[in-house]
Structure 1
Amino acid sequence: MSKKVVFIHGSPRKKGNTLALAGVAREALAESGVASDVIDAARLEFKHPGCIACYKCQQSQEFGCHVDDELARAVKTLPEYDAVVLATPIYWFSYPAQVKMLVDRIFSLVKFGQNHEFFSPLSGKPWALLATGGGQLENNLLELEKQWRIPAGLLGCEFVSVLFPTCHYEPGKIVEDPAPVARARAFGLRLAEML
């Protein structure tokens, strides 16, 4: 059975640089025999934005959000994959609101033990981040990376990232520059090696 990776696309832009770079990484995965899917987080329908702290997910033996909407159904598919990649631009030093809703719902895929242990069907699966930023700050993506790396570590997930902090290209045009393309490709190949 072949491996499969999910890319959670977090940009509100349909044809932006983040999606273009994720496409390069997905091509590298495919060349390595790894399939991939995309969840377009910015376009998922929802009854409530993000987590509403009802804690029904913690009171149930099942993993998954109990709010019945497209956002919850997308989150519930994540354990079906061998790795989870967040591909997102940075909006004011964090995720865009559209992807933050999905990230918050990932809480429903975690149970907590009496001794503060974490149990999740995502445990041990690689987590990855492909992030772009359009500002002048070279370190603008470090806080965003930390926000994805910390929960990965708590779940015992190997973590890898590729950051593009000064992404000053017209939407989708970054793939015309060989340097970022090579980095996105190397990221895809590294992810394939982790599976």
Structure 2
Amino acid sequence: MRVSDIARASVEEYFSKRIRVLERQLCENLPSSEGPPPLVQWRLKSDRSILEKHHARLRDQVAGPIWINDFVGIRLVLPHRGVLDAGISAACSWARSESLSQLEISNKMALDPNHLYRSVHLDFTLPPQLAERFNERLGVEIQITTYLQNFSATISHQMVYRHGIGDDASRSALQRLAALSRTLHDADEIAAAIFKAAGTAE
């Protein structure tokens, strides 16, 4: 499966302008004195990644047309866990202003102890003016995470996908990555408690 060049160019032009609005709303919603400023990262899913997803569905014998829920992938990187709700609120407010219909929310911040990446995933449709123009089943996924978990996700992705440590011989490496994610999760909780206590003291 391949997304047409016209669809890809139109979606990229649309979101390249509107991501700046999301950045502004996110900064307005979050306290300015609680760690580093939030980051907004985004990309369009490559044809290679779409093809890999399609092949995975075939292996799993999933019927029906493929839905590329994360064709537009947006990641919000927040200072710590304590501002997670504010980040979700800003993302949902921005999505409503862009007429993106929410399809699903998945909280993967506190999953099983072997999870390598913790975040909240929000899935949306494309805005009507784009969705009505193309036959492709394309969606928007917003991942909301923290600086610490983003670090964990980056090195886990490099190790698992680029270096191929997913086999049995590399189980110990995967266990160490999962332990790192748990440690950073605990550190996030401590940072949130510190800022909460400081706010209460004021």
Q: TM-score, normalised by structure 1?
A: 0.27
Name the one with the larger helix percent.
2
Specify the structure having the higher radius of gyration (Cα): 2
Q: TM-score, normalised by structure 2?
A: 0.27
